[in-house]
Structure 1
C-alpha cells in the first residue's frame, strides 16, 4: 500500500539544544527556536522494554521543513543512544505525519523496519520511531496529524515569517 509520506521535520541529536539552535539560526537563518525542557511522557518503550526517557528539544523552521534539535537528559538505553554515544551528535531522524499511526507502523514493519521507540505524551498523543538506520542512516518518526500537533507545526512556521535573527531561543513547555 503506497503512502504519501512527505518529510515534515529533520532532527539532530546534540549535547545542548540551545547551543545547536543558536548556531543553526546564525548559519542558516533558521528559526526562531522554541525550546521545551524535560518533555513529559506518560510512558515510553525502547524496543519493547519500558524506559524512562527525559529529553529536551528545540523546534524551529528551516524553509519548508521544521528542524528539531534533541538532547537526552538521563542515562540509559534509548532510540538516541542506539545511534550516538556520550558526547556524539548528528542527524537522527526525519518525521512524517500519517493518517493512522498504527497502520503506518504496520506498513513499515511489513517492509522490515522495527519499532525502536513508542512513546505517549501526557495528553495521550502517541509517536513512534521506526529503525531505518541500516537502510537510510536515520530513524523515521511517525505521528498522526492531530490538531495539537499540526497547530504546533503551524505556530513554528508562522513565527519564522519575517524572523530577523533577534531572540532566536524562546522557551515553551508541554503539559
Structure 2
C-alpha cells in the first residue's frame, strides 16, 4: 500500500465525517473540548455533476476539515433542503456521524467491489482535488456511508497540508480558509 504524506495509506480509512447543524459551533466544540485544530473552512461546496440515488442533484454544503493525529475529521453543514446524502442521514437519525472515508486508487473499481458485497451507490460528485468521490450505502445495519476518496496527488497535497498544520498546533489561527 502506498503511504500518503499525512501518515495514512491508500486502502485505509483516512477520514471520519459528521453532519452538523451549525458548523461554527461544531468547530468550537472540537477546538475547546477535543483540542483538535486548526480547521480549514470552505463556505460553499457544490459540484454541478452531483448524482444522488441515480438522479441529478444539487446540494450546497459548508465543510470544515481538521486532523486528530493522522485522521482527517470532516464537518458538513447542509445549506439547503435539497435531497442529498446529508439530508438523508439527518432525516433518518439526526445530526452526527455521517461516513468513513476510504482512500482508494480506483474509485470505479471499488464501486464494483462494494456493489458485489451488497452496497448501493448513493452519491457521486467530482471534487477539486481530482477525480470523483462516491458514497456507498451498505444498508440500515451500517453506521453511515462509506466514502470512496480518490488517491490523487491533489488529495494527498491538501490533506498533508491540513495535517502538517495540526502538528504542534498551538491554538492560534483556529479557523483558516480551505484554499
Q: TM-score over 0.5 for the alignment?
A: yes
Give 1:125 deviation, angstroms: 2.4
Contact 2:130 2:150 in 1 (8 A): no
CA distance in 2, matches of 1:125, 1:16: 29
Q: Is the counterpart of residue 67 in structure 1 residue 90 in structure 2?
A: no
Paired residues for 1:14-93 under 5 Å: 14-85=20-91, 88-93=94-99
Quote the residue 2:14 is aligned against.
8
Task: Verify the 8 A CA contact 2:46 2:58 in the aligned structure 1.
Answer: no
Q: Deviations over 1:21-54 (max 9, x none)?
A: 1211111111100000111413101111001111
Moved more, 67-76 or 129-138: 129-138
Q: Corresponding residue for 1:111?
A: 117
- Distance of 1:87 and 1:21 partners within structure 2: 21
SS class of match (1:58): strand
Write the mapping of 1:127-142 to structure 2, written as runs, cut at 5 A. Answer: 127-142=133-148
CA contact (8 A) 2:16 2:73 kept: yes
Take 1:53 and 1:163, find their aligned partners in 2: how far apart are those partners?
33
- Point out where structure 2 has 5 or more consecutive residues left out of the alignment: 1-9
> In the alignment, is the contact (CA less than 8 A) between 1:18 and 1:169 conserved in 2?
no
TM-score, scaled to structure 2: 0.88
Task: Give, in whole Å, the separation in 2 of the partners of 1:8 and 1:123.
Answer: 15
CA deviation vs aligned residue, 1:73-113 (integer Å, no higher than 9, x gap): 11121101111139931000010110100000000010001
Show structure 1 runs of 4+ deviating over 4 A.
Answer: none
SS in 2 for 1:109: helix
Q: Which consecutive residues of structure 1, in runs of 5 or more, have no partner in the other structure? A: none
RMSD value, Cα: 1.9
Query: How far apart are residue 137 of structure 1 and its match?
Result: 1.1
What is the CA-CA distance between 1:167 and the residue it aligns to? 2.2
Checking the alignment, whether the CA contact within 8 Å between 1:41 and 1:122 is kept in structure 2 is: no
Answering whether residue 127 of structure 2 is matched by residue 121 of structure 1, we say yes
